[in-house]
Amino acid sequence: MKKTLIASAIAACAMAGALPAQAQSSISVYGLIDGAVEHYTNADAAGNGVTRSPSLGGGMFPSRIGFKGSEDLGGGLKAIFTLENGFAPDAGTINQGGRLFGRQAWVGLAGSWGQVTIGRNYNMLYVSSFDVDVFGPSQYGLGALDPAVPNGRSDNSVAYKGTFNGVTLGATYSLGRDTSAAGGASGTNCAGESAADAQACREWSALLRYDRPTWAVVAAYDRIHGSPTAANGLNTSDKTDSRLHVAGFVKGSDWKVGGGVLLRENEGSATQPKSRLYYLGAAYNATPLLTIDGQVGKLDYRATGNDTKQALLRATYLLSTRTAVYIAGGRLDNDGTAAVALSAGGSVGAGMGQTGIITGIKHAF
């Protein structure tokens, strides 16, 4: 009997040793709510102004709720995931073309070599704007001049990013960049993954960044292909829309200056295929609780005079580490027949200038 018990114990230990050890895992819920009210002029051709609560973004950041986690697989390897929903706090509706997790939805592996993720990823054009774009994805910002910058995400994609001694390398490849049929920058109806046309709706992007303690430089390239169903004039798979972004920033203990240029070649436009977007911004911490920042930008079409100039100013006051109130103002001037609105998702009469003011509260959790 004693021999039987000993043999059973040895067998149980052997089986336990053959099974993987219990991995350490963590999951967190996070989010941000940014509610705002704004007023801007010349919302239509008659010159009427409008007062509204914006849906696409807040005065500082788009609202979101997300879930992220990791599992330690041993040997320096981790499993990682992120699911992030974007929503409009004015009506409680879903943004990003109606996707449940339209901001991010991916799973992958990470180690000392970097990370690889599969799903709906940020493309490297969007990642290249981090830190150098002072205003970021706010209601008034570079997204007015080129909506692709703050909406740089790719469906059906594989992404890589790794940082080594201050050098960051990144790349994405999408088999079908946009499955949503909703209009606008968040949904351009290009699902791809076609047996008849392997090039349809493909997208790729690459990034190179170098960071030092007080400055950084970054370059990124992004190219998307069209299809017969795609929006924005890219109606065949051999037509492409390409962007090259080169930027940088320098900072001190209580200030930062960032800027860059975005060169675009868009075969979906017969009249304005090439453009240059310049921007320069600065932020100053007037006190530990008060930040003043501003930014200027210009969208220059090389074939026409339909250019747009933008100037922004904002003050942000921290009520706590998680809560802030802010007020921002902006001026946008359209030349020729340009009809670029100051506020994301807003409207403006063709060729008209626009002045706006927005105020709100942001809370992160």
pLDDT of residue 36: 97
pLDDT of residue 51: 97
pLDDT of residue 185: 76
pLDDT of residue 341: 97
pLDDT of residue 20: 52
pLDDT of residue 88: 94
pLDDT of residue 23: 64
Residues with Cβ < 8 Å from 357, sequence gap 6 or more?
38, 39, 40, 327, 328, 329, 330
Encode the chain (365 residues) as per-residue pLDDT tens digits.
434 434 444 444 444 444 455 568 899 999 999 999 999 999 999 999 999 999 888 889 999 999 999 999 999 999 999 999 999 999 999 999 899 999 999 999 999 999 999 999 999 999 999 999 999 999 999 999 999 999 999 999 999 999 999 999 999 999 999 999 886 777 899 999 999 999 999 999 999 999 999 999 999 999 999 999 999 999 999 999 999 999 999 999 999 999 999 999 999 999 999 999 999 999 999 999 999 999 999 999 998 999 999 999 999 999 999 999 999 999 999 999 999 999 998 999 999 999 999 999 999 99
pLDDT of residue 59: 86
Domain annotation for the chain: domains and CATH numbers: 29-364 (2.40.160.10)
Beta carbons within 10 angstroms of residue 166's beta carbon: 11
pLDDT of residue 6: 42
Q: What is the pTM of this model?
A: 0.91
pLDDT of residue 129: 97
